[in-house]
Structure 1
Amino acid sequence: MDSRTAKAHIFAMLDVDGDGVVSRQEYLTRPARAAAVSGRGGDDPLVAAAHAAHERVYASMDADGDGRVTFEEYATWAGAESFEEVCRAALGSLFDLADTDADGALDRDEFTRLREALGNPADNAGAAFDALDTDSDGRVDREAYLASIRAYVTGGASGMAEALHTAHSR
């Protein structure tokens, strides 16, 4: 899979209503959805941090400031630089919301709930988890999670993405 195809996949998940644009509202529901499946309330400081991080991402992504991010706008923006500048913090904040025991890793249930909250199909969460749990300890650490997403966005491949592709090919 190439980077543009990976970006199209991610864009489709972000475009919750499927209208071809990612609105500010669509994007900013991500932290709320992750908080809800993790049992966190709106007064939780991690929810506030995640919301602030997502505000920064959306402002960066919406190059013309019109509150609507098209695929071309997203594809031009998404890459290594934007990942390091704003996405790493936003995705890390979602990980932190899902990490309900604050041990720096997600177990299979935490991982699955987070993926589903972010629009990933439930049927491939197991394969994605297994691909990231390289030492088979039943946990995915924060850095492995973020590195996999970065690899997918910037190069179109990651262990997690390969597992998902394999699961869908069966």
Structure 2
Amino acid sequence: MTLPRTAPQAPPTDPITPKARIYAMLDTDGDGVASRHDYFVRIEKARQATGRGHDDPLVIAALATGERAWAAMDANGDGVMTYQEYISWVDAEKFDNICQYALGALFDLADADQDGALDRPQFTMLRQALGNRADNADAAFDALDSDGDGRVGRGEYLASIRAYVTGDGSPMGDALY
């Protein structure tokens, strides 16, 4: 299916806010809008990085939660989500009811032994697949691994992203974006 393309758009005028930084990461091709293709290429990159097949139950789950998330974000069904649409949409309630499931499914892809935690290489691989630089991912891991055990749990990972999106402050978010 060919997705509609929009004319390139100007980047957000507030590129240092958490929502602007996340939106810029969602816009994988840098054309100023987050398209359905941009959103799903991130899942595909995570699938490839983990070496999982298309028929892997965790890949199927990530795609299913991604479909639900994208349908909610692209409420008018035009295949694109502008920055204005994104900032009008995203909030704590949307994170709690939609985004955390899509992000949690991606976390699960990277959790090779399915123990609910990522070590540094798994975390870095996931974050790079999702569009972060390795050095940002490394700093974010350090910010989350507060007990120094070399692991980041699923709950703390999702809570940190939620805090960043909602403006509550997140050392991991600050390092990543």
TM-score, scaled to structure 2? 0.88
The superposition leaves residues 2-51 of structure 1 with CA deviations (integer Å, 9 ceiling, x where unpaired) of 9x810100110110111111111111122221111111111100000000
Q: CA RMSD in A?
A: 1.5
Find the partner of 1:35 among 36, 47, 53. Answer: 47
The superposition leaves residues 54-81 of structure 1 with CA deviations (integer Å, 9 ceiling, x where unpaired) of 1111110012211110000011111101
Q: Does 1:157 align with 2:169?
A: yes
| Alignment correspondent of 1:66 | 78
> Which stretch shifts more, 85-94 or 17-26?
17-26
Equivalent runs, 1:1-170 vs 2, <5 Å: 5-155=17-167, 157-164=169-176
- Would the aligned equivalents of 2:139 and 2:172 in 1 still touch at CA under 8 Å? yes
Aligned mates of 2:40, 2:101 — CA distance in 1: 14
The superposition leaves residues 95-143 of structure 1 with CA deviations (integer Å, 9 ceiling, x where unpaired) of 0000011111000000000000000111221110011001100000000
TM-score, scaled to structure 1? 0.91
- Would the aligned equivalents of 1:13 and 1:119 in 2 still touch at CA under 8 Å? yes
Q: Could you tell me which runs of 5 or more consecutive residues in structure 1 were left unpaired when the two chains were aligned.
A: 166-170
Q: Could you tell me which runs of 5 or more consecutive residues in structure 2 were left unpaired when the two chains were aligned.
A: 1-13
> Which stretch shifts more, 98-107 or 26-35?
26-35
Aligned mates of 2:97, 2:49 — CA distance in 1: 27
Aligned mates of 2:121, 2:132 — CA distance in 1: 14
- Would the aligned equivalents of 1:5 and 1:156 in 2 still touch at CA under 8 Å? no
Q: How many residues align?
A: 163
Aligned mates of 1:95, 1:56 — CA distance in 2: 17
- Would the aligned equivalents of 2:132 and 2:176 in 1 still touch at CA under 8 Å? no
Identical amino acids, percent of aligned pairs? 63
Structure number with greater CO (CA < 8 Å, separation at least 6) is 1
Pick the structure with more helix per residue. 1
